[in-house]
């Protein structure tokens, strides 16, 4: 006997949708869905990587939209909007639960800032243009009723693997042992580690003097791609910024004191690029009011990664049963990072 369940990420503003969020958290488990969400007070740039990981792990994404746009990120986009864009770029099946008439809700649930009202209106227009299936609701009771129809339809329209809990004999039947195969696997793992170590020694011996390599306050032009919003429209645009190698090192260095995946390293650089992305994109597209989903170009990221590798600041790390690329700071890299981030006497902030 099997019992299938689906992981569902709920994206919603906080103070204006407390009752509705609670309704989703109660109703979804009865429909075979395990909800996960992030509370508003925990949202910041530093937690966006964890939010993306949660979305990556989910089978479905639910956007609950009431009458507020939500707290803004430095890029000018709300956290809820950013979560939606990320889920869309990851091609997650999306269900939009949109309030039918947000202007009729009580005043305390409304956006009071002019900027928030404009961005909320633009966001609704984008959703109504991009999404083929939108479920409209008026109150929490109406929302619970709508879910009983919308969730089965979403699962039928976009079937995913989900996960299945096996019980009894089914679980036991999945456990298969082969001593000879296990021994061969262990030998292969050992050989892979030996080859990786040999490769690292070869790379270290092949690297010559780094005196002529760009580093420190030298400037690199970094190319990235992002989504730009203007007047309710969204388009993919290319951007570029000039940034020093020291700035790049600070952007991800402290997170690589322990081994991290290459995707994580790129995500931390993306966070740094996003700080100036709005102003940079506005130079070419003046009407842009927000940018989201800043992604460094593969060529720029590879150049950064290999430069720090050749400088001896980072090194590859192997993980058993993991085919991903893992990187970690070396002792040289840690010393350079410590020098940049240490606080000098008489100062209340790091040197860099």
- Token readout for 55 is 């979305």
Model confidence pTM above 0.85: no
Confidence label for 129 from pLDDT (cuts 50, 70 and 90): confident
The predicted model gives 299-327 an average pLDDT of 85
**SS3 labels along 187-235:** HHHHHHHHHHHHHHHHHHHHCCCCCCCCCCCCEEEEEEEEEEEECCEEE
In degrees to the nearest 10, what's the CA dihedral of 345, 347, 350, 352?
-110
Asked whether 57 and 64 are in contact (CB, 8 A), the reply is no
Is the pLDDT at 322 greater than 90, yes or no? no
Distance (Å, whole) CA 105 – CA 117: 14
Closest CA to 122 of 84, 74, 92, 89: 84
Min mean pLDDT across 86-95, 103-112, 170-179, 296-305 is at: 170-179
Select the more confidently predicted residue: 45 or 116. Answer: 116
Pick left, alpha or beta for residue 77 (phi over 0 → left; psi -120 to 50 → alpha; otherwise beta): beta
- Token readout for 57 is 């792990």
Backbone torsions φ then ψ of 274, nearest 5 degrees: -65, -25
Is the pLDDT at 2 greater than 50, yes or no? no
Is the pLDDT at 45 greater than 60, yes or no? no
Angle 245-252/298-311 helices, nearest 10 degrees? 90
Confidence label for 342 from pLDDT (cuts 50, 70 and 90): confident
pLDDT of residue 40: 47
Distance (Å, whole) CA 300 – CA 209: 23
H/E stretch holding 241: strand 233-244
């Amino acid at each position: 006997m099997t019992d299938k369940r689906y992981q569902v990420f709920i994206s919603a503003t906080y103070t204006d949708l407390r009752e509705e969020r609670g309704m989703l958290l109660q109703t979804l488990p009865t429909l075979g869905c395990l909800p996960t969400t992030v509370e508003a007070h925990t949202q910041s740039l530093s937690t966006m990587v964890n939010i993306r990981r949660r979305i990556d792990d989910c089978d479905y994404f639910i956007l609950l939209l009431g009458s507020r746009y939500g707290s803004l990120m430095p890029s000018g986009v709300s956290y809820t909007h950013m979560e939606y864009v990320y889920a869309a770029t990851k091609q997650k099946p999306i269900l939009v639960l949109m309030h039918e008439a947000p202007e009729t809700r009580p005043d305390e649930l409304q956006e009071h800032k002019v900027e928030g009202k404009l961005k909320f209106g633009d966001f609704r227009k984008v959703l109504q243009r991009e999404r083929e299936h939108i479920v409209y609701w008026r109150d929490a009771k109406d929302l619970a009723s709508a879910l009983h129809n919308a969730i089965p339809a979403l699962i039928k329209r976009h079937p995913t693997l989900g996960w299945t809990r096996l019980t009894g004999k089914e679980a036991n039947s999945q456990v298969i042992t082969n001593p000879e195969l296990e021994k061969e696997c262990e030998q292969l793992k050992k050989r892979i580690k030996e080859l990786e170590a040999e490769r690292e020694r070869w790379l270290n011996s092949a690297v010559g003097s780094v005196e002529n390599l760009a580093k420190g306050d030298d400037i690199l032009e970094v190319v990235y791609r992002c989504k730009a919003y203007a007047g309710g429209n969204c388009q993919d645009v290319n951007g570029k910024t000039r940034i020093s190698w020291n700035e790049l090192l600070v952007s991800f260095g402290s997170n690589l004191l322990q081994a991290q995946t290459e995707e994580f390293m790129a995500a931390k650089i993306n966070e740094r690029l996003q700080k100036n992305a709005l102003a940079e994109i506005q130079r070419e597209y003046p009407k842009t009011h927000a940018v989201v989903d800043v992604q460094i170009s593969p060529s720029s990221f590879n150049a950064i990664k290999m430069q720090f590798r050749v400088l001896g600041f980072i090194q590859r790390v192997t993980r058993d049963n993991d085919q991903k690329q893992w990187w970690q700071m070396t002792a040289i890299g840690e010393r350079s990072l410590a020098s940049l981030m240490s606080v000098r006497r008489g100062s209340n902030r790091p040197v860099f």
